[in-house]
């Protein structure tokens, strides 16, 4: 789902849900559709905008392997721009 269009850099902020937890799943599928991640040189993304692959998590959940409780981790969307590493 498109959350925001960024016309100045011809890009969009997307919401994507994956099943396997593998980063390449998103990267390969978006590239195949003609929409590679920003700065993802491996799968054809433009490499001159942000200095690193533009794949960040907003929420992550999983079942804890010992106690079987669901663990949910959240990062507010307003923090995306602060994640430069």
Q: What are 20-53's pLDDT values in tens digits? A: 766 678 888 888 888 887 777 777 766 666 776 7
Q: Is the pLDDT reported for residue 84 higher than 50? A: no
% of the chain at pLDDT higher than 70: 76
Structure tokens at 22: 């593998």
Q: Is the pLDDT reported for residue 85 higher than 60? A: no
Q: Is 38 helix (H, G, I), strand (E, B) or coil?
A: coil
Token look-up 């993304």 returns 45
**According to the model, what pLDDT value does residue 67 have?**
96
Tally of domains in the chain: 1
**Nearest-angstrom CA–CA distance, 71 and 83:** 22
Q: Round the average pLDDT of the chain to a whole number and report it.
A: 76
Q: Supply the range of the domain harboring residue 67.
A: 2-82
**According to the model, what pLDDT value does residue 68 have?**
96
**Nearest-angstrom CA–CA distance, 40 and 9:** 15
**Nearest-angstrom CA–CA distance, 58 and 80:** 8
């Amino acid at each position: 789902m498109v959350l925001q269009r960024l016309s100045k850099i011809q890009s969009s902020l997307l919401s994507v849900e994956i099943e396997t937890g593998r980063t390449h799943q998103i990267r390969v599928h978006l590239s195949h559709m003609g929409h590679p991640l920003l700065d993802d040189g491996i799968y054809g993304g433009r490499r001159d905008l942000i200095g690193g692959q533009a794949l960040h998590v907003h929420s992550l959940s999983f079942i804890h392997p010992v106690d079987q409780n669901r663990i949910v981790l959240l990062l507010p969307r307003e923090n995306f721009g602060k994640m430069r590493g």
